[in-house]
C-alpha cells in the first residue's frame, strides 16, 4: 500500500466507512493521515482522586465501592451513580441515562476513569468519563488523539484506522525547498505526520503541529500573493484621469470631509488614475462616513463616462443606498436606478434597458445585479458594501460584467491589521480612522434584570420626547431549554405596557417582504420601538433612534455588541446603549466593561480577539477563503507572520510559481484554491 492508494485498501475500512470518510473529504491514505486530531487525551499518568485538579481531564484508578447507592432506583430519570474509591478519596461517577451500563461495573473490581472531576456540594463527581476495566486490552497509557467525528464513525474506529496506516507516514517526502525547511526549523513531513497522531510527549506535538500549520498557511499565503501579483500586472484597467474635478460634489456637501475621509479619497483617486485596476478595501467604523467616499468615486467615474454598480447584502440596505445616492447625485445630473427582486417584471426590464444603453449612471442592488441578464454599457466601478457578507466569487462575478473595472469594497467590521492582510489578501487596504466632528459618543450602561422596569420607563420617556428605540433579544421565541428573553415575549410585554406608543417586531424567521415593511415603518418614524433579533445588525440608518437596549447581552460577542450599538448615535441628540445582563459570567463581565469604556471599533476588535476562543470570529467560509484544515488565522497569527515573509520571497523570486523547486507548492496551491479563485497555474 502507498500514500496515493484509496482508503478502501485499508483493512477495516469497508464500503460504508469508505463512503462516510469520502464525505469528510478523505479519498486517499494520504488524506486520511491529514485528518488531524482536534486535541489529545493525556492518559500517561494516573492521579490520586484526592490530588487531581478540578475541571481538567485526569486519569484515575479506583475500586467500585457501591452502585446506584442513592436516588430513587425506580425512577427512570435517576442517573446511574457509582461510588469509586482509590484510597485517597471517594468520587461519584455519573451517567445520565446510563443505567444500561450498570452491569458493566462490579462492586469490588478496579477500573480506570478518564474525565473531569468537579466539586458538587462538597462531593467529587465525574460525569460521563471514558472507562475501562483495569487490565483490559484497550486500557492503555499514553497520549491519545481525539479526532473530529461524524455519524457512523467512532473515536475507536478512527484511532484504529490511523494506527494501521501510520507506518506509511514515513513515505511522505519533503516537498518544500530545503532552504525554507531549514531556515524555518521545520521537522520533516514524515516526522510530523507520524507524531501528530500518536505523540510521545508535548514536544513532539508542538513540532509536528508547527510544521503542519506552517505548511498550510504557506500554501494559503502564497496563493493569495500570487492572485494579488497577477492583478497588479494587469495593465489595462479603466483609467479615470486624476484631474477630473469633483468640486460640484464637494461644494454641495453640507460638511467638510474629515482627515480620514480625505486621506482615503486620495488613495482611491490614485488607484483610479492608474492603469492598474483598483482593488481596494475601505475599513471604517459605523458612522465614519464611508458613503461620502464612495459617492466621490462614483461621481468621478460618471464624469469620465463610465457607469458604477453598488451591491448591498440586503434589499433594505440597497434601498437605503438608493435613496441617499439619488438625493446626493441626481441634482448633479446623474441617473440612479435600483434593481432588486421586488421589482415588477416590466420595471425590471426598463431598468435593464436603461443600464445597457448607458442611460443609467449608477445601479444599486442586491445579488440581483450579478444575474446573467444584467449588462452594462461601460462599467467602470464596482462597489460592494458590508463585504463580509459577500465572497470573493460574487465580487468577481460583478467585476466581470465590465472590462476590468475598479473595485471598491467597504466594510464596517473592524479587523485588526494582521488579520485583514490575510482575509483581504487580494486587496489594498485603507482605513477611515476619524469620526465626523460633533458626534456625541453613545453613553453605555450596564444593568441587570432588577432594573428592567426602570430601563423601559426610560425608553418610554425617550419615545415620548419624539425619539425612537431598538430593543434586541437573542431569541425569536421562548424556549424551554434556554433561559433568556425572546423577541416575541418582549414585543408582547411592551405592547401591553405602553399602549400609547407603536411597537414593531422583526426577526429572521419572517418573510423578506414582512421584514422590509416593518423596517420601513421604523425608518419612516411610524414605529417608535423596534423589537428585533440581530437582523438589524447590518447597516440600517435611522438617525432619530437614540436608544439601543440589548437584552441578555451576555449572549452576544463584543464585535456584535459594537455593531448593534452603532445603530444609535447617528444624529445630533445624545444616544444611549443599555446592556441588560441576564446571567453574569466572567467573560460577559469583561465584555461589558470594555463596551462601557470604549467606543473605538478597532480597539474593541483587538479585545475581542483576546477574549474569544480561536476560530470563532471570522469564519473563513464567509470570506470566500479556502477552508483550512489545521491552522487558525487567529490562534496562529505568529506563525502567519513568519509565513508571510517566506511566501513573499517565493513570489518575488518566482511570481508564476513555475520553477521546478516549487513544483509541489504549485500543485498544493492549486488544490487548496480549487475553483474558488481562478488560478492560471
Residues forming contacts to ligand ADP in the complex (CB under 6 A) are 255, 257-258, 261, 284, 286-292, 412, 436, 541
* Nearest distance, CB of residue 368 and ligand ADP, angstroms: 22
Please, what is the minimum distance in Å from the beta carbon of residue 412 to ligand ADP? Answer: 6
Q: How far is it, in rounded angstroms, from Cα 643 to Cα 214?
A: 7
3-state secondary structure of 194: helix
CB closer to ligand ADP out of 250 and 451: 250
**Min dist. Cβ of residue 298 to ligand ADP (A):** 13
Question: Which helix (H) or strand (E) segment is 517 a member of?
Answer: helix 512-523
Nearer to ligand ADP, 286 or 329 (CB): 286
Nearest approach, Cβ of residue 438 and ligand ADP (Å): 7
Distances (CA, A) of 379 to 238, 239, 309, 361, 383: 9, 12, 8, 9, 11
Which one, 263 or 590, has the nearer CB to ligand ADP?
263
Report the relative pairing of strands 529-532 and 443-448 from DSSP bridges: unpaired
Q: Provide φ and ψ at 240, rounded to 5°.
A: -110, 110
Given the complex with ligand ADP, which of 350 and 541 has the nearer CB atom?
A: 541
Question: Considering beta carbons, is residue 161 or 540 the nearer one to ligand ADP?
Answer: 540
Comparison of 317 and 665: residue with beta carbon closer to ligand ADP: 317
Q: If you write DSSP's letter for every residue of 375-430 in order, what string do you get? A: --SSEEEEEEESGGGS-HHHHHHHHTTSSS-EEEEEE-S---HHHHHHHTTTSEEE
* Contact criterion met (CB below 8 Å) for 547 and 568: yes
Task: Specify the DSSP element, H or E, that contains 345.
Answer: helix 345-357
Residues 6+ apart with CB under 8 A from 558: 591, 594, 595, 604, 605, 607, 608, 611, 612
Please report how close the Cβ of residue 321 comes to ligand ADP at its closest, in angstroms: 9
Which of residues 256 and 353 has its CB atom nearest to ligand ADP in the complex?
256
Alpha carbon separation from 267 to 263, 278, 285, 374 (Å, rounded) = 6, 10, 18, 30
Q: At its nearest, how many Å lie between ligand ADP and the CB of residue 562?
A: 12
Smallest distance from ligand ADP to CB 264, Å? 11
Query: Can you give the length of the chain in residues?
Result: 681
Distance, CA of 574 to CA of 250 (rounded, Å): 28
Is the four-CA dihedral 602, 607, 610, 615 of positive or negative sign?
negative
Cα separation, 562 vs 550, whole angstroms: 11
Residues 6+ apart with CB under 8 A from 194: 166, 169, 170, 208
Closest CB 288 distance from ligand ADP, rounded Å: 4
Cell for 245? 474635478
Q: Check: CB of residue 470 under 8 Å from CB of residue 442.
A: no
Give, in degrees to the nearest 5, the angle at Cα 416 between 536 and 597.
65
Tell the smallest beta-carbon distance from residue 294 to ligand ADP (Å).
8
CB of 381 to ligand ADP, least distance (A): 17
Asked if 577 contacts 568 with a C-beta cutoff of 8 angstroms, the reply is: yes
Which lies closer to ligand ADP via its Cβ, residue 304 or residue 323? 323
C-alpha to C-alpha distance for 677 and 624, rounded to whole angstroms: 9
Q: What are phi and psi for residue 456, nearest 5 degrees?
A: -75, -25
In whole angstroms, give the CA distance from residue 593 to residue 580: 13
Output the smallest distance, CB 324 to ligand ADP, in A: 8
> End-to-end CA distance of the chain, in Å?
31
- Which residue number is nearest to ligand ADP in terms of Cβ? 289
Separation between Cα atoms, residue 273 and residue 389, nearest integer Å: 29
Q: Nearer to ligand ADP by C-beta: 290 or 565?
A: 290
CB of 355 to ligand ADP, least distance (A): 25
Least distance from ligand ADP to the Cβ atom of residue 599, Å: 14
Return all residues near 541 (Cβ < 8 A) that are at least 6 apart: 320, 570
Which backbone phi and psi does 113 adopt, to 5 degrees?
Answer: -130, 135
In angstroms, give the least distance from the CB of 237 to ligand ADP: 26
Residue 122 vs 438, nearer CB to ligand ADP? 438
Nearer to ligand ADP, 433 or 493 (CB): 433
Nearer to ligand ADP (CB atom), residue 165 or residue 297:
297
Which residue number, 261 or 404, has a Cβ lying nearer to ligand ADP?
261
Tell whether the torsion through CA atoms of 662, 664, 669 and 670 is positive or negative.
Answer: positive
258 or 575, CB closer to ligand ADP?
A: 258
Q: How far is the CB of 282 from ligand ADP (least distance, A)?
A: 9
Q: Which is nearer to ligand ADP, 310 or 476 (CB)?
A: 310
Which residues are CB-neighbours of 7 under 8 A, at least 6 positions away?
Answer: 13, 18, 21, 22, 26, 27, 28, 29, 31, 32
Amino acid at each position: 500500500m502507498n500514500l496515493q492508494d484509496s482508503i478502501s485498501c485499508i483493512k477495516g475500512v469497508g464500503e460504508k466507512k469508505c463512503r462516510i470518510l469520502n464525505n469528510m473529504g478523505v479519498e486517499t491514505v494520504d488524506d486520511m493521515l491529514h485528518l488531524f486530531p482536534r486535541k489529545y487525551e493525556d492518559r500517561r499518568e494516573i492521579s490520586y482522586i484526592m490530588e487531581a485538579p478540578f475541571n481538567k481531564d485526569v486519569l484515575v484508578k479506583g475500586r467500585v465501592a457501591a452502585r446506584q447507592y442513592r436516588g430513587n432506583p425506580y425512577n427512570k430519570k435517576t442517573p446511574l451513580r457509582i461510588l469509586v474509591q482509590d484510597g485517597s478519596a471517594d468520587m461519584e461517577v455519573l451517567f445520565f441515562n446510563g443505567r444500561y451500563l450498570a452491569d458493566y461495573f462490579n462492586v469490588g473490581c478496579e477500573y480506570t476513569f478518564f474525565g473531569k472531576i468537579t466539586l458538587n456540594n462538597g462531593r467529587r463527581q465525574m460525569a460521563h468519563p471514558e472507562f475501562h476495566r483495569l487490565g483490559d486490552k484497550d486500557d492503555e497509557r499514553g497520549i491519545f488523539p481525539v479526532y473530529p467525528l461524524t455519524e457512523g464513525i467512532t473515536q475507536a474506529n478512527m484511532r484504529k484506522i490511523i494506527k494501521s496506516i501510520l507506518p506509511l507516514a514515513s513515505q511522505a517526502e519533503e516537498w518544500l525547498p530545503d532552504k525554507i525547511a531549514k531556515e524555518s526549523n521545520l521537522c520533516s513531513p514524515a516526522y510530523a505526520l507520524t507524531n501528530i497522531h500518536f505523540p510521545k510527549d508535548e514536544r513532539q506535538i508542538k513540532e509536528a503541529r508547527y510544521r503542519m500549520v506552517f505548511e498550510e498557511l504557506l500554501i494559503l499565503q502564497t496563493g493569495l500573493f500570487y492572485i494579488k501579483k497577477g492583478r497588479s500586472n494587469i495593465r489595462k484597467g479603466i483609467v479615470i484621469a486624476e484631474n477630473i474635478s469633483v468640486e460640484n460634489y464637494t461644494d454641495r456637501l453640507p460638511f467638510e470631509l474629515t482627515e480620514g475621509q480625505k486621506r482615503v479619497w486620495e488613495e482611491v483617486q490614485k488607484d483610479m488614475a492608474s492603469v492598474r485596476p483598483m482593488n481596494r478595501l475601505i475599513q471604517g467604523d459605523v458612522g465614519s462616513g464611508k458613503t461620502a467616499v464612495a459617492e466621490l468615486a462614483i461621481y468621478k467615474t460618471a464624469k469620465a463616462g463610465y457607469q458604477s454598480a453598488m451591491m448591498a447584502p440586503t434589499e433594505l440596505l440597497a434601498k437605503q443606498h438608493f435613496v441617499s445616492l439619488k438625493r446626493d447625485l441626481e441634482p448633479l445630473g446623474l441617473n440612479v436606478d435600483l434593481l432588486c427582486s421586488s421589482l415588477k417584471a416590466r420595471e425590471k426590464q426598463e431598468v435593464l434597458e436603461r443600464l445597457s444603453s448607458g442611460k443609467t449612471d449608477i445601479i444599486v442592488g442586491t445579488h440581483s445585479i450579478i444575474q446573467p441578464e444584467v449588462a452594462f454599457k461601460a462599467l467602470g466601478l464596482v462597489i460592494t458594501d458590508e463585504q463580509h457578507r459577500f465572497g470573493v466569487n460574487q465580487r468577481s462575478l460583478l467585476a466581470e460584467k465590465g472590462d476590468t473595472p475598479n473595485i471598491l469594497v467597504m466594510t464596517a467590521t473592524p479587523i485588526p491589521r494582521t488579520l485583514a492582510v490575510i482575509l483581504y489578501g487580494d486587496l489594498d487596504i485603507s482605513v477611515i480612522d476619524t469620526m465626523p466632528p460633533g458626534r456625541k459618543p453613545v453613553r453605555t450602561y450596564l444593568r441587570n434584570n432588577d432594573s428592567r422596569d426602570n430601563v423601559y420607563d426610560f425608553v418610554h420617556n425617550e419615545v415620548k420626547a419624539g425619539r425612537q428605540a431598538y430593543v434586541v433579544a437573542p431569541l425569536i421565541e421562548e424556549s424551554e431549554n434556554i433561559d433568556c428573553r425572546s423577541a416575541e415575549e418582549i414585543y408582547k410585554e411592551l405592547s401591553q405596557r405602553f399602549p400609547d406608543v407603536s411597537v414593531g417586531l422583526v426577526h429572521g424567521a419572517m418573510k423578506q417582504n414582512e421584514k422590509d415593511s416593518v423596517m420601513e415603518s421604523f425608518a419612516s418614524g411610524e414605529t417608535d420601538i423596534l423589537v428585533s433579533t440581530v437582523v438589524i445588525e447590518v447597516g440600517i440608518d435611522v438617525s432619530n433612534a437614540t436608544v439601543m437596549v440589548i437584552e441578555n447581552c451576555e449572549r452576544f460577542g463584543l464585535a456584535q455588541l459594537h455593531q448593534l450599538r452603532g445603530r444609535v448615535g447617528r444624529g445630533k441628540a445624545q444616544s444611549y446603549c443599555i446592556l441588560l445582563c441576564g446571567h453574569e459570567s466572567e467573560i460577559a463581565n469583561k465584555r461589558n466593561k470594555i463596551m462601557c469604556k470604549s467606543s473605538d471599533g478597532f480597539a474593541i476588535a483587538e479585545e475581542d480577539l483576546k477574549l474569544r476562543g480561536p476560530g470563532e470570529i471570522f469564519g473563513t467560509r464567509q470570506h470566500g477563503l479556502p477552508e483550512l484544515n489545521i491552522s487558525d488565522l487567529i490562534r496562529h497569527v505568529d506563525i502567519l507572520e513568519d509565513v508571510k515573509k517566506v511566501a513573499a520571497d517565493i513570489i518575488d523570486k518566482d511570481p508564476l510559481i513555475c520553477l521546478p523547486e516549487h513544483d509541489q507548492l504549485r500543485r498544493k496551491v492549486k488544490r487548496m484554491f480549487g475553483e474558488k479563485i481562478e488560478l492560471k497555474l
